[in-house]
Amino acid sequence: MIEFRKITWDNFEECISLKLNEKQNNFLATNVYSLAQSYVALLNDESPAMTFAIYDKDTMIGFIMMYHDTAGENEYGNEACYGILRFMIDKKYQGKGYGKNAMAKALEYIKTFPQGEAKAVYIAYESKNKVAKQLYASFGFKETGEVNDADEVIVKLDF
């Protein structure tokens, strides 16, 4: 059963040790970089990103980082939204259905509106990442026709 747990001193080292396979390394920032970004946002009175370790029972299998933007903060549209900034499953656990189950859990969590109401969820991904494209499409995410500053494809799921 997939579960999201807070990053604590007890699981921090394990979280930053999670790895993608070599072909995926250019697709995503490291977990340590993601946690540092969240920390800087927190120190600057911005809404910090929601970071979680992804577990299957007591085994850490991945990492996710999500955010909430008001309509005025949303750089991709004009509605309040959530976004998934980072989503990774460790290379040892890929290809076993964990990604799909964890994404379902993420969307379920987002729909509880933990940081405020929203009308959509956005994700940006590297265009060469065909696995991500298929995963997001399977949940109903649609390409917006936009790319971000990192030349990543923007997809959106309306609620």
Q: Give the model confidence (pLDDT) of 111-149 as tens digits.
A: 999 999 999 999 999 888 898 999 999 999 999 999 888
Write out pLDDT tens, residues 77-118: 899 999 999 999 999 999 999 999 999 999 999 999 999 999
| Domains assigned to the chain | 2-121 (3.40.630.30)
Lowest-confidence range among 6-15, 37-46, 124-133?
A: 37-46
Q: Which of 37-46, 66-75, 122-131 has the lowest mean pLDDT?
A: 37-46
Mean pLDDT over the full length of the chain: 92
Whole-model pTM? 0.90
Task: Give percent of the chain with pLDDT exceeding 70.
Answer: 98
DSSP per position, 65-122 = EEEEE-TTT-SS-SS-EEEEEEEEE-GGGTTSSHHHHHHHHHHHHHTT-TTS--SEEE
Q: What is the pLDDT of residue 45?
A: 67
Rounded Cα distance between 100 and 138, Å, is 9
